[in-house]
Structure 1
C-alpha cells in the first residue's frame, strides 16, 4: 500500500527550490541537478511534481503569485492617497533581493515559452495590472478612452521598471522611477472633472 502524500512537503520543497534558484536559471534545470543541489533524491521531485514541465509550471505560479496585481475590487474604492500607499507597499515588497530573483525567473519562464502556458500566465499578470489601473481611473472620473490608454501606460511602466530592476539591481533609481510614474498616473485622476453623485 502506498504511503499517503505529505501535504506539507510539497510547499516546503517549492520554497527550497526557489531559494536554490536564486542564482540559477530555468533553462538548465533538471530533476537530477535540482535533486543534487537540494540534497534529496530525484525520485522525491518526480513523486511530488511528476514532470519537469509541471515543476516549472509550479515554480512560475509561485513566482507570479508574488508579482500579482492588487485585488481590483479593493483598489477601485481607494482615494488617491490610499491607492498610492497600496502601490508603494507592493513596490517595496518587489524591491527585495528575493523579489528581484523571483522577477528574473518569471521573465525567463515567459521568454522560454512566449506563446505557451508560461507566456499566457505572464500576459494574464500584465492584463490584471492594466485592468486595475484602467478601472481605478474610470472610478475616479477619467473618460474610458483616456483611462484605457493611461492604464496601459501605467502597467507597461510598472513591468518595464521591474525588468530594469532585474537588469541593474539599482533599487534606489528604479524606485525613484516608479514614484514618478505613480505620481504622473495619479495626476490624471486629479485633473479629471469630478463625477456627478
Structure 2
C-alpha cells in the first residue's frame, strides 16, 4: 500500500503525539505547546487533525486500537490469564497520562460535548465486538470485564494506589478463574 505524504506525515505526528501525551500528559496544554513538544507548528496540527479536541480523540483512538490489537494477540482459553496479561500491560505507569486522557474524553462525550460524543458508544462497542468474536464469550462477562478494567484504571489514574488496585485486579482474576473452573 502506497501512502500519500500527507497521510504519512499525519501518522508520524500522531505517533509523536501519543508518545508525548504518554510521557507528559495533556492537562491544559495548548496546541502550540503540543506542537512545540513534537517539533511542528500548531498550524500543521490543525491541518492534520482539525482542532485540539479532534487531535485528542485521534490520540485516544490510536491508543485504543493498539490495545485492541494486543488483546487479540493475548486471546487464550483461560479468561483469568488473558485478563491478567492485559492488566499487566494497561497498569504500567507510563500509560497513566494516556488513561487520564481517555477518561477526560470519555466524560466529555458522556456530557454531550462535541466532538467527543463521536467516541461513544464505540468506545464500548468495539471492545465488546472484539471480545465476542469468540463465540464462547458470554456478552455479559465481556461487558463486566471491560467495566472492571476501566474502573480499576480510573481508580489507578486518580489515586496512584498501585498496590490496592492490583489487589483488586488479582481478586477479579481469581473470580474469573473460579467461574471457569466451576463451569468446566
TM-score in terms of structure 1 length: 0.69
Mean CA deviation greater in 46-55 or 171-180: 46-55
Once residues 130 and 166 of structure 2 are traced to their aligned partners in structure 1, the CA distance between those partners, rounded to angstroms, is: 20
Q: After alignment, is 91-100 or 124-133 more displaced?
A: 124-133
Give the distance between the partners of 1:7 and 1:148, measured in 2 at CA.
Answer: 36
Point out where structure 1 has 5 or more consecutive residues left out of the alignment: 141-146
- Report the secondary structure of 2:68's partner residue: coil
Flag the 1:36–1:135 CA change in 2: closer, same or farther, 3 A.
closer
SS in 1 for 2:20: helix
Tell which structure's C-alpha radius of gyration is larger: 1
Provide the residue aligned with 2:156 in structure 1. 165
Note if contact 1:60-1:106 (Cα within 8 Å) is conserved in structure 2: yes
Equivalent pair of 1:60/1:118 in contact (CA under 8 Å):
no
Alpha carbon RMSD of aligned pairs, Å? 3.3
1:88 aligned residue: 84
Distance change >3 Å, CA 53–CA 88, structure 1 → 2? same
Structure 1 residue 169 displacement after superposition = 1.9
In 1, Cα distance between the equivalents of 2:63 and 2:33? 20
| Aligned twin of 1:104 | 100
> What TM-score does the superposition give when structure 2 sets the normalisation length?
0.73
2:119 is the counterpart of 1:121: yes
TM-superposed deviation, 1:119: 4.8
Contact conserved, 2:25 with 2:98, CA < 8 A, in 1?
no
How many residue pairs get aligned? The number is 177
1:144 matched residue in structure 2: none
1:35-58 CA distances to partner (integer Å, 9 max, x unpaired)? 233342222223322333432221
* Ranges in structure 2 where 5+ consecutive residues have no aligned partner: none
- Distance in 2, matches of 1:131 and 1:8, equals 29
